[in-house]
Chains A and B, each alone.
Chain A
C-alpha cells in the first residue's frame, strides 16, 4: 500500500499543490490541498506511515490550507482553512499551520461523522480492551494518552473516540497526539524515543507539539476494539493515584457532555451511550506522576484477564 513516506517529498508537494493528497486516517479519507510547502514537510514528519489513496475512492472531507493572496502575504503572514469552499475558522498566523491542520482534521470528523457517537476523549487499547479517557482540556488527558502509548498501549485516538452505533465497538482514528505546554517536556523526558513535532508557541492553546503515533497503531487502524473502562482523568501536582468508581447514571451524563453529536443522534445517541456505560467500568482517576498512573492501568488490565 502506498504511504506518505513512500511518496517522497516532491510527489507529496505536487499532490498537495495539484489534485490533492488523499490521506486515509482510520475510517476517513481526506483530500488535502495546500500551496504551503511547510505542510508537506509536517505531513512527511508526522504521517509517514499513513496510507495514500488514488482518485477512485470518494473522499469524505475536502481540506484546503492556503495563504492569502497579494501583499497580505508579506505582513504578518497567515494561513486560511477552507472546508470545501467554506471557512469554518478565522485564519491563524502562518507559524501555526500544522496545529491548524490538526484542528481542522478534528473539526471535519466531529462535525460530520454521525455514523458514530463521537466523544471528545482519548482512547487506547491493549489485549483487545479499550480505555476511554474523556476530559476537558487541562485535565492531563493527552499526556496520559501519550504516556500509555509510549508504554505499548495501542493509540486509537487522542481526541475523538468513535463509538459505533450498531454494535458499540470503537473504531480507531489514530492521528498525532496533541501535547500542550508543560506536557511537551514531560513526555520528552518520559519517552525519549517519541518523535515530537517542533513546538509552536502562542497558539490559542498555548505552546503545542504533536507526538507521532507508533507505526503499529497506524497499521492496525482498521481493527476495532471493545470498550472496557471509562476513566475520567484529573492531573494534580503531587497527588497520589486514586481510582474512584463513578455511578452509571452520572457517568452517562458526563459522557454525553463530552460527546459532539449526542443530541444530534437523538435516541441512537442515548442508546449508544447507555450500552457503552453497561459494557464498561467507570472511574474518576486523579494522579500526580505518570509512573504511578501506568501501574494503575496495568492493574486494571490484569483484573480483566
Chain B
C-alpha cells in the first residue's frame, strides 16, 4: 500500500501522523487543503491526541482550517433554520441530504466537512409549492437559460440550484437521488418513508442509515467529476464505521436495501474502494452479499484503474501521466449514466457550442 498518496495513508491510519517529518507535513497539508480535508485533518489530529505534539507551524496551519470549518457549521445550521422557516406552511418533513444531514445529525462524517449547498429532499408533487415558498423567502433560481431550465426540470432529479439573494447561500431541492433520465431510478418514496426524525430538532429528518450510505455511494460513483473524490470516499468510510458500530443489524441490512433500491453496483464500489484505500472494516459477509453488484471482470479492471486515480487527492503531487485521460473517461461515464445516448450527445453538443463560455453553470 506504499503507492497510496500520503493523505490517503494518514486518513487510513491517523496515528501515523505522529511520525511525519517537516517536508512530509508540508505535502500532507497541501494535499489535505486541496482535497478540502484540511479541517478534517485538524480534527483527526485532535481526536487522536496528537495535535499538541505537532510542530507549532503545523498546529497553526491546522487551526486556520479548523476555524473556517467552525464558521461553516454555524452558517449551515442557520441556513437550515431559514429553510425550515420558509417551508413551515407545507407541513412536509424537511429531509436533509448529504453534508447538511451529517452536520444536522452530528455524525462523525461532519467533522471537518465543508460543502457549498444545503440539500433537501421533497416529494415531486410538492416541488412547485416548495420552489414558490423559497422564492418568496429570497432564494432565486440561478439558471436563467431556457435550456438549463428544461435540463433540470424535465430530466434531472432536482430543481435548478437556487441562491439566496442577500446571503448568497445555495440550496438544491431534490425530488429523487438520480436523474429522471438515468437507467436506474431508486424510488424516492421508499427513502422518504424510511427517513428518521432528528431528536431535539422537530421537523428535521435525515435518511435512514442504509439509505444515507447508499445515497453517498450513488452520488460518488455516478458522478462525472471527482474533485472531491477522496473527501466523499472518506464520508462513506466514516458513515460505514459509525453505523457499523452503533446501528444494530446495519451490515446485514445494507445489501438488502441496496437490492431494494437497485443500487447494488454503487454499494459494491463503495465497499470495495473504502476497504482497499481506507481500510474500512467491512465484515466478510457484507462483502460477499455485495458481490451482487460486481461488474464483469473487464469492466471491473477498468473501473479499478479509473477510480484509484480519481479517488486520490486533487493535488499536483498526486497527478500522473494518465490522470487527464482517466478524468475524461469518468466525465463521459458520469454523463452516460445520466441519460440515454441520443439525449447525451444532444446535451453535450449543446453545452459545447451554445452555452456561453466563462459562465459557471454548476453542471456539465
Q: Interface of A with B (CB < 8 Å)? A: 29, 31, 55-60, 62, 84-86, 112-115, 263-266, 268
Contacts and interface: CB of A to CB of B under 8 A. Distances in A.
Contacts of A62: 30
Contact of A84 (B33, B55, B68): B33
B57 A58 contact: yes
Contact of A266 (B25, B60, B64, B70): B70
Nearest 8 Cβ contacts at the A-B interface: A58-B26, A114-B67, A85-B316, A114-B64, A264-B71, A58-B25, A56-B22, A58-B22
B315 interface: yes
Contacts of A264: 67-68, 71
Interface residues of B, number: 23
Nearest to A90: B358
Interface string B19-54: 000110110011001100000000000000000000
Nearest to B70: A266
B57 to A, nearest CB: 6
B223 interface: no
Nearest to A56: B22
A268 B68 CA distance: 12
A114 B63 contact: yes
Contacts of A55: 22-23
A115 B64 contact: yes
Contacts of A85: 34, 314-316
A115 B63 contact: yes
A163 to B, nearest CB: 14
Contacts of A265: 67, 71
| Chain A interface, >50% SS class | loop
Contacts of A57: 22, 57
B71 A59 contact: no
B261 interface: no
A58, A115, A263, A268 — which one has the most chain B CB atoms within 10 A of its CB?
A58
B352 to A, nearest CB: 22
21 contacts: A29-B57, A56-B22, A56-B23, A57-B57, A58-B22, A58-B26, A58-B29, A60-B61, A85-B34, A85-B314, A85-B315, A86-B34, A114-B64, A114-B68, A115-B63, A263-B71, A264-B71, A265-B67, A265-B71, A266-B70, A266-B74
A289 to B, nearest CB: 42
A31 B317 CA distance: 15
A171 to B, nearest CB: 12
Nearest to B319: A85
A115 B23 CA distance: 22
Contacts of B23: 55-56, 58
Contacts of B74: 266
Given A112-B64, A114-B64, A266-B70, 20 more contacts: A29-B57, A31-B26, A55-B23, A56-B22, A56-B23, A57-B22, A58-B25, A58-B29, A59-B26, A60-B57, A60-B61, A84-B30, A84-B34, A84-B315, A85-B316, A114-B63, A114-B67, A115-B60, A264-B68, A268-B67
